[in-house]
Amino acid sequence: MRHLTRFADLGADGARRLIERAEAFKGGQLPDALRGRILILLFLAPSLRTRVSFQVAMARAGGSAIVLEAGGGIWPLETREGIVMDQDRVEHIEEALGTLSRYGDALAVRVFAELESDEMDLADRFLNQIREKSGIPVISMESAAEHPCQGLADAMTILEHHPDPRALPVLLRWVPHVKPLPKAVPNSFLLTAAAFGCQITVSAPHGFELPASLVGAARMLAVAKGGTVTESADPDCGSDGSKVLYLKSWGPAGHPRATPVAGCHAHWRIGSDWLGQMPEDALLLHCLPLRRNVEIEESALQNARCRIFDQAENRIYVQQAALEWLFGAQA
């Protein structure tokens, strides 16, 4: 039984094949493997694009999606083992999974990081528990550690404009936010872009570095495909040469809740002047949602380089391809 909860489930070659299938679906083909299938979407964290894109992906291919929100229409779920359930959580995740495994063909799950420590988030305990206990294939809609479908959609968007991504200058750049955010999206973007051989710079203020183990894994992927991964604490790094600018905020290194983000590093915000230094064929990417005039100036979103809606649309097609793979229809 296949699962897709982390980039390693696909690997570099598998990611390339999956995106090729996604491109075919965007061109008008439909995945036969989804027809008549039921996908259960279990949300333990909010969503807009992920929720709708998975529903659209299934509906267009002749399948259906059932949306469940823990504590909002279904019982509050207990995830801890060995717990005495005498508080407000009515159902244990194991009984929920046992039931859902009889109802659906696959289970998609979204859960956010607890932000207690990078090590705890990378361990991805809760999603791995679901993966182990589920009787049907599991696909991640974002977890504490990774957001693989977002990373694949990001790579697809890059390939649409730069078909040969080897040694492509890519800047993954931290931007300010009003609160600490999880690292799943930058983790997945870094791993996926590295697997396509991009020349990646991760730019963030001192104290906001991505986990060393994750950066090390990305560096190995990049080297295998002729790319590189470097780190910088210079807010102007890459402004005059990057062909891809990926903006994202994330919490401090080590202990993500340890220091406040609101009001800090406002000079890291991206504006139109910054974008004006970039090459004409450069792309501006962000997974959304974004906070206007906090992360990026509103005027910059009107720049011709901005491809945020392409990213959002491509979620449909990579998720169709991912589900096709999950059901074993493609190698």
pLDDT tens, position by position, 154-189: 999 999 999 999 999 999 999 999 888 999 999 999
**pLDDT exceeds cutoff 60 at 261:** no
Nearest to 305 by CA among 249, 236, 248, 245: 245
Tell me the average pLDDT across 102-121.
Answer: 94
pLDDT tens, position by position, 189-233: 999 999 999 999 999 999 999 999 999 999 999 999 999 999 999
And the tokens for 65?
């999606």
Alpha carbons 177 and 294: distance in angstroms, whole number: 6
Grade residue 89 by pLDDT with cuts at 50, 70 and 90. Answer: confident
Residue 224: strand pairing partners: none
Tell me the average pLDDT across 287-307.
Answer: 93
CA 133 to chain centre: 23
What's residue 127's pLDDT? 95
Q: How far is CA 154 from CA 32, 66, 177, 268, 289, in A?
A: 24, 26, 21, 22, 15
pLDDT tens, position by position, 6-51: 999 999 999 999 999 999 999 999 999 999 999 999 998 889 999 9
User: b or e along 131-157 (b: 16 or more beta carbons within 10 Å of the residue's beta carbon)?
Assistant: beebebbbbbbbbbbbbbbbbbbbbbb
Chain-wide mean pLDDT for the chain?
Answer: 93
What's residue 331's pLDDT? 61
Tell me the average pLDDT across 224-247.
Answer: 94
And the tokens for 281?
């064929």
Alpha carbons 209 and 188: distance in angstroms, whole number: 15
Alpha carbons 49 and 277: distance in angstroms, whole number: 30
**pLDDT exceeds cutoff 90 at 76:** no
Alpha carbons 7 and 187: distance in angstroms, whole number: 10
Grade residue 78 by pLDDT with cuts at 50, 70 and 90. Answer: confident
Residue 40: HSE in the Cβ half-sphere, 13 Å Cα cutoff:
23
pLDDT tens, position by position, 54-75: 999 999 999 999 999 877 778 8
Grade residue 82 by pLDDT with cuts at 50, 70 and 90. Answer: confident
- For the whole model, what pTM was predicted? 0.95
What's residue 239's pLDDT? 79
Residue-by-residue DSSP string for 273-291: HHHHTS-TT-EEE--S---
**pLDDT exceeds cutoff 90 at 240:** no
Tell me the average pLDDT across 88-107.
Answer: 91
Please say whether the beta carbons of 280 and 257 come within 8 A.
no
Alpha carbons 83 and 116: distance in angstroms, whole number: 20
What's residue 80's pLDDT? 82
Give me the domains of the chain, ranges plus CATH numbers.
7-146+315-326 (3.40.50.1370), 150-311 (3.40.50.1370)
What's residue 85's pLDDT? 86
Please say whether the beta carbons of 153 and 161 come within 8 A.
no
